[in-house]
Amino acid sequence: MSLSRKVRELLESHGKPQKEVYFDLENSGFIPQEVVEAMIPYFNVRGYGHPSITHRVGWEALEVIYETKELIARTINTSNPESIVFTHSGTEANNLAILGFLLRNRGSKSKKVIVSSIEHLSVIFPARFASELLGFKVILVPVDGDGFIDPEILKYYVDKDTILVSIQMVNHEIGTIQRLKEIVDVVKSANSEVVFHTDAADAYGWIHINVEELGVDMLTISGHKIHGPRGVGALYIREGLELESPLKGQLSVERLWPGVENVPLIAGFKKAIEMMFNNFDSRVNYVRNLRDKLMKGILDRVPEVLVNGPIGDMRVANNVNMSFLRIEGEALTVELSLYGVYVSSGSACSSRVLEPSHVLLAIGRKHEEAHGSILFKITHHHREDDIHYALEVIPRAVKRLRNIKCVEISMNQLDFRGEDCPGPLVKTIRVLTKVKRGEQLTILITSKECVEMIKQTIEVFEIAKIEIHSRDNYYEIYLEKTIEN
């Protein structure tokens, strides 16, 4: 059976809920019709030519590229549109910033790179890669329980050997808004030669940004974080700062990122920016009000819940992150999806590995607290009734999961008799991530529906061989792990 067929059966087994509320905007979001319509002409009507070719259709492509650069420049308060470089995502922009700068300066005597312990992995991993490849020393700066960096502590890390500092403007998981101007000033006063990069992917469109006042040298933004298309991002690079692209190939319009620019996506990015920056303050206040209602509503209705990140004005308007104690975040994600409430558990780029969030561990959460985390991202497209519906469903889902008995593991046997999905499904996947390749697992289960969900999930992700046997009043499932952890 093809993978697409397996996924189709998985979808059909769940069915479509009567009402759907999408809070999974950290992973990805829908694209408004206006953005779609802005992209369509550039596929086949105008601007579909190569933007570096000297004919009319190429010039049409070039025009929208320059218009979008000019728009981004205005929204971050820089007078130089040429300081904007398009990439294919925020992750690529972060890689270009970190690796591009360190490659360009691999012969420097200064070798210290400082990043915060709660950075997006697209900052941490390139920094570590540069450490292994080029000999740079990476320092992870600690944060407090709300994710804030103390500038007074940071200044002790910065010295004459420091070459690069990268600290987020807003954290992607817990919504912490760093006091970035103060942080940049501390870094630059300790060593004026240090280059400062900030990942503003979760700040852009939500807080006002002025790169000249902040004094940052590089800044990352991403299209899909503002209801733009996936596959487009941008990096601001201060005039005079030189990078070396980690990618090699034919350059088009961009001087640092080889390949032909995806003009339709850039056109969609432009429209999304225009929409996000229209009525900026009233939109942000509207979303902040919804955020506060959701957060307060959960705290009032559900016991044993922790708020991850700050409460108040230093939390970005669209972020709610909470840990629901005594349940798994993955189980709650699946349970809520059955009601049509779509959320995420952990960071988008790491949630599939079922490991606790490095961000939550960095702010002092225990492993079991981090495993119970749920992230809601709210937008101006949500309405009051969406929040009310979520507040009806969440307590019900949490109560049901907390009433499920803990999984019993004996001689690689899981006994789920008497339990309904999604609990057995999530626990099975979690246990499979812990056993070694070739190890066998036996599952005892009553629910036929849950047997089908486990079977389809195992087949889609191809992580184990599976046999199912019907017994008196229950099913016996045999699994053999087929992949390495």
Q: Is residue 22 domain-shared with residue 65, that is, in the same domain?
A: no
- Among 276, 294, 327, which residue terminates a domain? 276
The burial of 224, by beta-carbon neighbours within 10 Å (0-12 exposed, 13-18 middle, 19 or more buried), is given as buried
Asked if residue 211 and residue 90 are part of one domain, the reply reads yes
With 90 as the cut, is the pLDDT of residue 407 above it? no
Q: Can you read off the two tokens belonging to residue 297? A: 């509503």
pTM: 0.84
Same domain, 43 and 155: yes
Per-residue model confidence (pLDDT) at position 409: 47
Highest averaged pLDDT of the listed ranges 56-70, 241-255, 337-351: 56-70
Q: What is the CATH number of the domain that holds 84?
A: 3.40.640.10
| DSSP label of 123 | H
Report the 10 Å Cβ neighbour count for 255. 12
- Residues 346 and 418 both lie in one domain: no
Tell me: do 229 and 366 sit in the same domain.
no
Q: Tell me, what's the pLDDT at 35?
A: 97
Decide if 157 is inside a domain. Answer: yes
Is 393 inside any structural domain?
A: yes
| Catalytic (active-site) positions | 349
Higher-pLDDT residue of 46, 483? 483
Q: For residue 150, give both structure tokens.
A: 């103390």
Q: How many CA atoms lie within 13 A of 211 on its CB side?
A: 29
Last residue of a domain, one of 276, 306, 321: 276
Do residues 442 and 468 touch, judged by C-beta distance below 8 A?
A: no
Question: Is the domain of 49 the same as that of 198?
Answer: yes
What are the residues facing 441 on neighbouring strands?
479
* pLDDT band, residue 408 (cuts 50/70/90): very low
CB 333 within 8 A of CB 374: yes
Tokens of 367: 């492993």
Are 248 and 315 in a shared domain? Answer: no
Least reliable range by pLDDT among 130-134, 141-145, 473-477? 473-477
> Residue 352 pLDDT > 70, yes or no?
no
Decide if 112 is inside a domain: yes
Q: What is the Cα–Cα distance from 197 to 127, expressed in whole angstroms?
A: 12
| Residues above pLDDT 70, as percent of the chain | 91
Mean pLDDT over residues 93-107, rounded? Answer: 97
The reply to whether 1 falls in a domain is: no
Q: Are residues 233 and 336 in the same domain?
A: no
pLDDT at 331: 86
Q: Which residue has the higher pLDDT, 334 or 190?
A: 190
Which pLDDT value is given to residue 204?
98
SS3 267: helix
Tell me which residue of 306, 283, 374 sits closest to 23, measured CA to CA: 374
Shared domain check, 440 and 297: no
Position 368 confidence tier, pLDDT thresholds 50, 70, 90: confident
Per-residue confidence band for 248, with pLDDT thresholds at 50, 70 and 90: confident
Q: Is residue 264 part of a domain?
A: yes
Higher pLDDT, 262 or 460: 262
User: Which of residues 402, 423, 455 is at a domain's end?
Assistant: 402
The tens digit of pLDDT for each residue in 8-40 reads 665 666 667 889 999 998 888 889 999 999 999
414 and 380 in a common domain: no
Name which residue leads in pLDDT, 222 or 409: 222
Average pLDDT, integer, range 235-259 = 83
Q: Please state, as a whole number, how many other Cβ atoms lie within 10 Å of the Cβ of residue 96.
A: 27
CATH number for the domain harbouring residue 420: 3.30.110.40
Average pLDDT of span 149-156: 94
Average pLDDT over residues 146-161: 95
What is the average pLDDT across 116-128?
A: 97
pLDDT band at 350 (very low <50, low <70, confident <90, very high): very low
Q: Are residue 75 and residue 98 in the same domain, yes or no?
A: yes
Parent domain of 113: 33-276
The answer to whether residue 10 is domain-embedded is: no
Query: Which CATH number fits the domain that encloses residue 397?
Result: 3.90.1150.10
- The set of residues, in sequence order, having a beta carbon less than 8 Å from that of 461 and lying 6+ positions away, is none
| Pair 41, 47: CB distance under 8 Å | yes
Q: Give the pLDDT of residue 52.
A: 65
Q: How confident is the model at residue 351 (pLDDT cuts 50, 70, 90)?
A: very low
Give me the number of domains the chain comprises. 3
pLDDT tops 80 at residue 167: yes
- d(CA 7, CA 228) in angstroms, rounded, equals 26
In a domain, 6, yes or no: no
Residue 388 forms part of a structural domain = yes
- Based on the domain organization, do 257 and 302 belong to the same domain? no
The average pLDDT across 37-45 equals 90
Residue type, 239: E
